[in-house]
Structure 1
Amino acid sequence: MVMAFHLWLVFLVAAMGLAVVPGPNSLLALSHGARYGHRRTLFTICGGVFGFLILIAIAMFGLGAVLQAQPDAMTALQWVGAAYLVWLGIKLWYAPALELTKLAESQIYSPTSLFRQGFFAALSNPKVLLFFTAFLAQFIDPEEALLPQFIVIAITFICVEFLAEYGIACVAHRIRPKLMQSGQRFNQGCGMLFIVLGVSMTLA
C-alpha cells in the first residue's frame, strides 16, 4: 500500500492550506492573471508547479538535510533567491498600467518567459526546500518504497497548487476593470510585495 487513505486526506487538507498562503507564485499568478489573462498565465503556473515538483523531489531524496548541514550553501541560495524576487519586484514596479484595449505584442511575454518566471519564483526561496523536508517527513513511511510515495505526494501537491494559482489568475482577470482603476498603483503594490519578500529572506 503506497499511502493510507486517511493519511492522504490529511496531506490533501494540509496541501490546500499551504496553497492559499500568500507567496511569490500566488502573487505572480495574481499579477499575470490581471495583465495577460488566465489562459496565458497557465504558462506561469506550469513553470511554478514544475519548480515545486523539483523541490519536493529534492526534499524527499535528502538534499534538504545537506543544506541544513551546510549553512554556507543555504546562505548563498538564499541571497540568489532574494535577489531574484527583488528583481521581479522592480520590474513590476515600473510595468505600465493595465489598459482596456488589447495589449500590444511588445507588452506580452512569450510562453517561455512566463514559464521561466513561474519556475524561478518557485525556486527562489530555498527555505521552501527546508519546509518541504520537514513537512513531507510527517507523511512518509520509511518502511515503504519511497518512489511510489513521492508520486502520490507530488501529484497531489502540484494539482492543489495548480488549481489554487489558476483560481487566483481567473479572479484577477475577472476583476481586471477594477484593478485598472488603480492603474500603476496595482503594479507598484505587487512589485513592493515582491521586494518585501526578497528583503525579508535576507533578514529572517
Structure 2
Amino acid sequence: MTQYLIFLLAFAASAALPGPEIAALLSRSLAGGWRSSLPLASGIIIGKLIMLSAAVIGLSALLAILGPAFVTLKYAGAAYLVWLGIKKWRAAGQALPSAANAPATGIIVEIGLGLAMTVTNPLAIAFYMALLPGVINVAGVSWPSYLILCGIIAGAMLAIVLAYGLLAELARKMFRSAHAKARLERASGGMMVGVGIVLAAR
C-alpha cells in the first residue's frame, strides 16, 4: 500500500500545480460555473489514464510511433483555446447559455480538448517516464494494480477539479455586478488565450 500512497501524493501534487490544464479548468469554471468544466475535466482524466496505460506498455515506443499525431493535437487544441478566449472576451457581459444546455458536439469537443492538452503535455510525459517507474514497478503491474492506479488518478483529479471549481464559484459570487461580471469574463477569455499560446509554444 505504501507505493500507492506515494503515487497518490506525487500525482496529486503534480496535477494540482497551476499550469495550462488547471488554467483551462479555472477559465471554464469562472465563465459558466464548475459544472461547465466537467467535460474538459473528463478529457483530462481520460488523457491521464491513457498516459498511465502507455507507461505500462512502453511510453517511449508509443511516442515514437505517434509523434506526428501528438504535434497535430497540440496545435489544434491551442488554436481552439485561442478562438474560445477571443470569443469569450468579445461576449463579456452578455448573458451566458446554461452549461446544461450545451450542445452534445460542444461537450465532445471539450472532452477532446482536455485529452489533447494532457497527452501533449511534456511535464505529464516526464512524470510517467521518470517518476512512475521509481514508485511503481510498471513491468510487473497486474490488472488489480492497474485498476487501483486508474482509481487513484480519477479520484485525485475529481478532487482537484472540485477544489478549483469551488474557488471559481466563490469568485463568481464576489463579482455580481454587470461591470464586475464583464471583467471576470474578460479575465476568463484572457486565460484561455494564454493557455492556447502556452500550449502551442511548449
More helix by share: 2
**1:52-131 superposed matches below 5 A:** 52-68=48-64, 72-97=68-93, 108-110=101-103, 113-114=106-107, 116-125=109-118, 126-128=120-122, 130-131=125-126
Provide the aligned length of Structure 1 versus Structure 2: 197
Residue of structure 2 in register with 1:32 after alignment:
28
Query: What is the deviation of 1:113?
Result: 2.9
Structure-2 change in CA distance of 1:144 and 1:106 (3 Å): closer
Determine if contact 2:79/2:196 at 8 Å carries over to the other structure: yes
Instruction: Please state how far the C-alpha of 1:152 moved relative to its aligned partner.
Output: 1.8
Aligned to 1:166: 162
Q: Which amino acid aligns with 1:124?
A: M
In 1, distance between residues paired with 2:47 and 2:68? Answer: 22
Instruction: After the TM superposition, list the runs of 4 or more consecutive aligned residues in structure 1 that deviate by more than 4 angstroms.
Output: 68-74, 103-108
Structure 2: distance between partners of 1:104 and 1:71: 38
Indicate how the Cα distance of structure 1 residues 66 and 199 shifts in structure 2: closer, same or farther if over 3 A, else same: same
Alignment CA distance shift 1:85-1:150 (3 Å)? farther
Question: Would the alpha carbon gap of residues 166 and 115 (structure 1) be closer, same or farther in structure 2, given more than 3 Å must change?
Answer: farther
Q: Give TM-score, length-normalised by structure 2.
A: 0.75
In structure 2, what is the Cα distance between the partners aligned to 1:98 and 1:170?
23
The gaps in structure 1 that reach 5 residues or longer are none
Q: Distance in 2 between matches of 1:143 and 1:200?
A: 34
Q: Which residue of 2 aligns with 1:185?
A: 183
Percent identity (aligned): 24
Q: CA RMSD in A?
A: 3.3
Tell me, in whole angstroms, the C-alpha distance in 2 between the residues paired with 1:170 and 1:141: 36
1:59–1:132 Cα contact (<8 Å) kept: no
